[in-house]
């Protein structure tokens, strides 16, 4: 529960900061008719919406295992991360429509000195937010925090593009505004695809630990003749392992069970993120690793 409480607290902090930056960029962008600023504000607003999805997702993921969900609810976190990606693509569609309209109309925004001040301040906030969230996401091994930090990081590059666009408009190139908006859209698509790739690992039960690592750990245990049929799945902070080991056929059921327990301890001791290990015992007529501590 401490893990989920930490993630929830971080998301709340990020949510407040994203709302503030979205309002600053969006309101001033509308006031000055600067499409790229308005688009960047919309992007930040979607960040805030993504935070809400993240909070809901992490609350669902924090539920303990029950009869219908014996493996827990951790995959809700990955579903929430996928929701963030969908919002990114929705925001991208809006940007494309707005930028295309500006390219056709040929209008020019009203860029002032305050435009640069607003963008610079929000840029500083975005850099701090993205770095803070990414570092803690990696430390906590939270897919939703890492996904959200990548989302926010795209805001950083987008804001830099907007600032460059503002300079271009000031020196007589008004088309830079919608072009920068399309550049932001490209960043959004890239970020969304990255989030989908990360989230699909858990949702599709992709192997999360190299099979040979588990084989080596199992074979290092006294009494294990061989190891095969290794399968791993789950998320970075919650991994499930199942494997088959061969033990000497002459061992009693009690001693063979002890070997299986030792294998489980060896794996969990080396890889703390492993939540559960299922060991299937198979008899072997000849084994050169018979020594069993009694």
pLDDT of res. 68 = 82
DSSP state of 272: T
pLDDT winner (highest mean) among 36-40, 48-52, 225-229:
225-229
Q: Return the higher-pLDDT residue of 215 and 68.
A: 215
Question: Which domains occur in the chain, in start order?
Answer: 2-203 (1.20.1510.10), 211-284 (3.30.70.1350)
CA distance 10 to 15: 9
Using pLDDT thresholds of 50, 70 and 90, give the confidence band for residue 107.
low
pLDDT of res. 293 = 44
The mean pLDDT of 221-238, rounded to a whole number, is 87
pLDDT of res. 14 = 82
Q: Is residue 251 predicted with pLDDT exceeding 50?
A: yes
CA distance 131 to 145: 11
Using pLDDT thresholds of 50, 70 and 90, give the confidence band for residue 236.
low
Using pLDDT thresholds of 50, 70 and 90, give the confidence band for residue 232.
very high
What is the side-by-side order of every strand in the sheet holding 274-284?
A: 224-235, 238-248, 274-284
pLDDT of res. 294 = 41
β-partners of residue 235 are 238
pLDDT digits (tens, 9 = 90+) for 127-183: 888 888 888 888 887 777 887 787 777 777 778 878 888 888 888 888 888 888 787
CB 247 within 8 A of CB 253: no
CA distance 69 to 63: 10
CA distance 276 to 231: 12
pLDDT of res. 1 = 55
pLDDT digits (tens, 9 = 90+) for 52-101: 767 776 677 677 778 887 777 777 777 777 877 787 787 778 778 877 87
pLDDT of res. 102 = 75
pLDDT of res. 213 = 94
Q: What is the mean pLDDT of the chain?
A: 81
């Amino acid at each position: 529960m401490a893990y989920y409480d930490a993630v929830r607290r971080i998301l709340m902090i990020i949510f407040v900061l994203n709302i503030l930056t979205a309002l600053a960029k969006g309101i001033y962008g509308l006031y000055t008719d600067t499409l790229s600023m308005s688009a960047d504000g919309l992007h930040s607003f979607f960040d805030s919406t993504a935070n809400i999805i993240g909070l809901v997702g992490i609350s669902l993921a924090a539920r303990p295992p029950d009869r219908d969900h014996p493996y827990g609810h951790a995959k809700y976190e990955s579903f929430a991360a996928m929701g963030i990606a969908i919002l990114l693509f929705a925001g991208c569609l809006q940007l494309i429509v707005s930028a295309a309209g500006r390219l056709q109309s040929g209008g020019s925004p009203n860029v002032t000195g305050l435009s640069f001040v607003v963008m610079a301040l929000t840029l500083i906030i975005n850099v701090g937010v993205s770095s803070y969230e990414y570092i803690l996401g990696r430390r906590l091994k939270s897919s939703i925090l890492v996904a959200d930090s990548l989302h926010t990081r795209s805001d950083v590059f987008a804001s830099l593009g907007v600032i460059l666009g503002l300079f271009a408009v000031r020196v007589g190139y008004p088309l830079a505004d919608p072009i920068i908006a399309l550049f932001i859209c490209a960043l959004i698509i890239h970020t969304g695809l990255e989030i989908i790739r990360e989230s699909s690992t858990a949702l599709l039960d992709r192997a999360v630990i190299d099979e040979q690592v588990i084989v080596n750990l199992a074979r290092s245990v006294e009494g294990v003749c061989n190891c095969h049929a290794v399968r791993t799945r789950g998320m970075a902070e919650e991994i499930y392992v199942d494997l088959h080991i061969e033990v000497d056929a002459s061992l009693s059921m009690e001693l063979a069970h002890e070997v299986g327990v030792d294998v489980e301890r060896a794996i969990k001791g080396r890889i703390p993120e492993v939540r559960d290990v299922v060991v299937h015992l198979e008899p072997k007529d000849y084994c050169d690793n018979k020594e069993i501590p009694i």
